Amino acid sequence: MVLAYIRVSTNKQDIETQRYQILQYAFKEKLNIDEFIEVQQSSAKSPHKRKINELKSKVNRGDILIVYEISRLGRSMFETMNLILELSEQGVQFIFLKQPELSSFNNAHSKLLLSFYTYMAEVEKDFISQRTKAGLEKARASGKILGRPVGSYSSMYDENIEIIKELINKELSLKSIWKFIGKKGNYVSFYNFCKSRKLITKN
């Protein structure tokens, strides 16, 4: 079985981005993904809420687990390392799209790489958190009102706007992108959305 695990903290559009990257990789490598586990939870949440327990119950020896990047699997360096080594010892194979050199962990070199990447992921997460807090405090101190401004855009497609931009830049047709996004709205509403956000210029 080939299983893909996707976790994001708050922004649903990042789920679509990760799913697209994983599907693109699977197509290139001729892999058929049997199941996606998708989670919209902070890494601070329990393993149960992040569906780690579900993930562990579903994979078996010889299965392949695809993850966008290593930090998606744990809240800390040690939790991430322990999970990966536990599943690896059970015969699960890993594919990390952002760290392709991490595939097996049966020697000292690969375990050293694993510890380095999990450490860097934790450092980066702490850095981003501190930088975000500092930015918010600076904005409040300068009197800025945080949040969506009155009269700003609001469309069912806005949450996917980054992946839509990316796919348009890759010269996919609008109809193909609309089908990939999988929204309930009709194609005309999607086309008008792209026009209103100046994502396309042709009539």
pLDDT in tens, 81-126: 888 888 888 888 888 888 877 766 555 556 666 666 666 656 555 5
What does 118-138 look like in DSSP terms, one character per residue?
HHHHHHHHHHHHHHHHHHHHH
Cα–Cα distance measured from residue 147 to residue 134, given in angstroms and rounded to the nearest whole number? 16
150 pLDDT band, cuts 50/70/90, is very low
2-119 belongs to CATH 3.40.50.1390 = yes
Mean pLDDT of 43-57: 87
Selected residue with higher pLDDT from 171 and 92: 92
Mean pLDDT of 18-34: 90
Average pLDDT, the chain: 78
Every domain of the chain and the residues it spans: 2-119, 158-196
In a 3-state reduction of DSSP, which class is residue 92? coil
10 pLDDT band, cuts 50/70/90, is low
Could you tell me the two tokens for 130?
């501190």
Catalytic residue among 9, 46, 176, 196: 9
Half-sphere exposure of 187 (CA within 13 A, CB side): 8
- Any idea of the CA torsion for 70, 74, 80, 82, to the nearest 10 degrees? -150
**pLDDT at residue 161 is higher than 80:** yes
- CA distances to 3, 15, 92, 103, 168 from 58, rounded to whole Å, are 9, 21, 11, 19, 36
Which of the 8 DSSP states describes residue 75? S
**pLDDT at residue 2 is higher than 90:** yes
Whether 9 sits among the annotated catalytic residues: the reply is yes
